[in-house]
């Protein structure tokens, strides 16, 4: 049984909501309070898919997500790159010189420091971007604005005092679309495989584990480490590689990885977002 719903964290109008509308326009977007609630909505069958942000090109990794993915029981079926355009939103009739404070999620505040500094606007941390817009609308105070997507301004009846105020014009957030069931049968020109692993307690285990990818010509686009259960000696690694586990070179590299690891869990096999290649070509041109 399907619900035709895709769950996201935040209030209506959040960037995750925008990602849902862009990547799955035919599905109903289901707002959830926390990332854990998003995952549980899919696990419980209240939604078919989860839209989860994992990293931003300006701010970096989204906290907590990598801890949640391995334990979620869900599998990655797609990635979605969303350009983040930030607007300064205020109650109708407000002018820019009236704004003294701007509220938003801490991740977004870090993406427009230059604009805030130039306009002497003090940053205030809110629960999330769209939630901040909702609160600004409820307070009705012209000295308080929100930093959020233009969509949030439409939903909560706020004026857009300034648009595209992000520090970097290539500001992009990468989302993972997750499901209860994996779909490893798909093939595209560029496939990605995501997995988590822990290395065995032997000298140079990580170095040896990574060697298989180099010798087999497998490009690793991401490798991140994080502590498990708050213990410094328990480290788990998250990795993205280009290719499909059934590709001969990827299969060989994963076999070598298994030899040096105590655990390996493939989180998903999915097509690369077209914007990934566009950004790669742009960076090579620079």
**Do the Cβ atoms of 88 and 113 come closer than 8 Å?**
no
> Smallest Cα–Cα separation from 29: which of 53, 56, 10, 1?
10
- Across the range 188-203, mean pLDDT stands at 89
Specify the pLDDT at position 201. Answer: 76
What is the model's pTM?
A: 0.88
Report whether 275 contacts 81 (CB < 8 A).
yes
Asked if residue 89 lies in contact with residue 96, where contact means CB atoms within 8 angstroms, the answer is no
Catalytic residue among 58, 94, 172, 173: 173
In whole angstroms, what separates CA 121 from the centre of its chain?
27
Active-site residue 173, yes or no?
yes
Q: What is the pLDDT of the chain when averaged over all its residues?
A: 91
Asked if 145 and 94 touch (Cβ cutoff 8 Å), the reply is yes
When mean pLDDT is compared across 94-103, 122-131, 183-192, the lowest value belongs to 183-192
Q: Is the dihedral of CA 161, 164, 167, 173 positive or negative?
A: positive
Check whether 5 has a pLDDT greater than 80: yes
- So what's the pLDDT on residue 233? 59
What pLDDT score was predicted for residue 174? 94
**51: helix, coil or strand?**
strand
Residue 188 has pLDDT above 60, yes or no: yes
Task: Give the burial class of 148: count Cβ atoms within 10 A of its Cβ; 0-12 exposed, 13-18 middle, 19 or more buried.
Answer: buried
- What span, in angstroms and rounded, lies between the C-alpha atoms of 19 and 10? 12
Compute the average pLDDT of residues 215-241: 83
pLDDT at position 111 is 87
Taking alpha carbons only, the member of 31, 37, 36, 30 closest to residue 64 is 36
Sorted by sequence, the CB contacts under 8 Å of residue 241 that are 6+ apart come out as 192, 193, 195, 213, 218, 219, 220, 221, 250, 253
- How many CB atoms within 10 Å of residue 34? 14
pLDDT value, residue 194: 96
Asked if pLDDT for residue 221 goes beyond 80, the answer is: yes
> What's the gap between Cα 217 and its chain centre?
27
Report the alpha-carbon distance of residue 127 to residue 33 in Å, rounded.
Answer: 10
Query: Using one digit for the tens of pLDDT, what is the confidence trace for 154-170?
Result: 999 999 999 999 998 88
The 3-state DSSP composition of the chain as helix, strand, coil percent (nearest 5) reads 30, 35, 35
- pLDDT digits 0-9 by tens, 40-75: 999 999 999 999 999 888 777 876 787 788 889 999
The single residue of 175, 195, 197, 260 carrying the catalytic annotation is: 175
Q: How far apart are CA 37 and CA 52, in angstroms?
A: 11
The arithmetic mean of pLDDT across residues 112-118, rounded, is 96
Short-list 37, 27, 99, CA closest to 68? 37
| Dist CA 144 CA 19 (whole Å) | 26
Residue 3 known to be catalytic: no
- Distance (Å, rounded) from C-alpha 89 to C-alpha 163? 9
């Amino acid at each position: 049984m399907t619900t035709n719903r895709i769950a996201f964290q935040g209030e209506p109008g959040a960037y995750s909501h925008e990602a849902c509308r862009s990547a799955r326009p035919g599905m109903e977007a289901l707002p959830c309070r926390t990332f854990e609630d998003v995952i549980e909505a899919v696990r419980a069958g209240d939604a078919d898919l989860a839209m989860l942000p994992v990293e931003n090109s300006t701010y970096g990794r989204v906290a907590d997500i990598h801890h949640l993915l391995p334990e979620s029981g869900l599998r990655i079926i797609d990635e979605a790159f969303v350009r983040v355009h930030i607007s300064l939103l205020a109650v109708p009739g407000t002018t820019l010189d009236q704004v003294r404070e701007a509220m938003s999620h801490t991740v977004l505040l870090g993406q427009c420091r230059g604009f805030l500094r130039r306009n002497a606007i003090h940053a205030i941390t809110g629960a999330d971007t769209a939630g901040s817009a909702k609160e600004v609308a409820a307070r009705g105070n012209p000295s308080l604005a929100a930093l959020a997507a233009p969509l949030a301004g439409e939903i909560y009846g706020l004026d857009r005092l300034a648009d595209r105020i992000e520090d970097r014009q290539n500001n992009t957030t990468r989302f993972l679309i997750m499901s209860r069931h994996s779909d490893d049968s798909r093939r595209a020109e560029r496939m990605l495989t995501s997995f988590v692993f822990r290395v065995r307690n032997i000298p140079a285990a990580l170095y040896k584990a990574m060697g298989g990818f180099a010798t087999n010509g497998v490009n690793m686009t991401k490798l991140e480490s994080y502590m498990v259960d708050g213990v410094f000696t328990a480290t788990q690694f998250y990795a993205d590689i280009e290719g499909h586990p059934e590709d001969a070179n990827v299969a060989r590299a994963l076999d070598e990885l298994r030899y040096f690891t105590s655990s390996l869990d493939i989180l998903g096999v999915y097509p690369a977002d077209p914007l990934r290649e566009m950004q790669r070509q742009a960076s090579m041109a620079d």
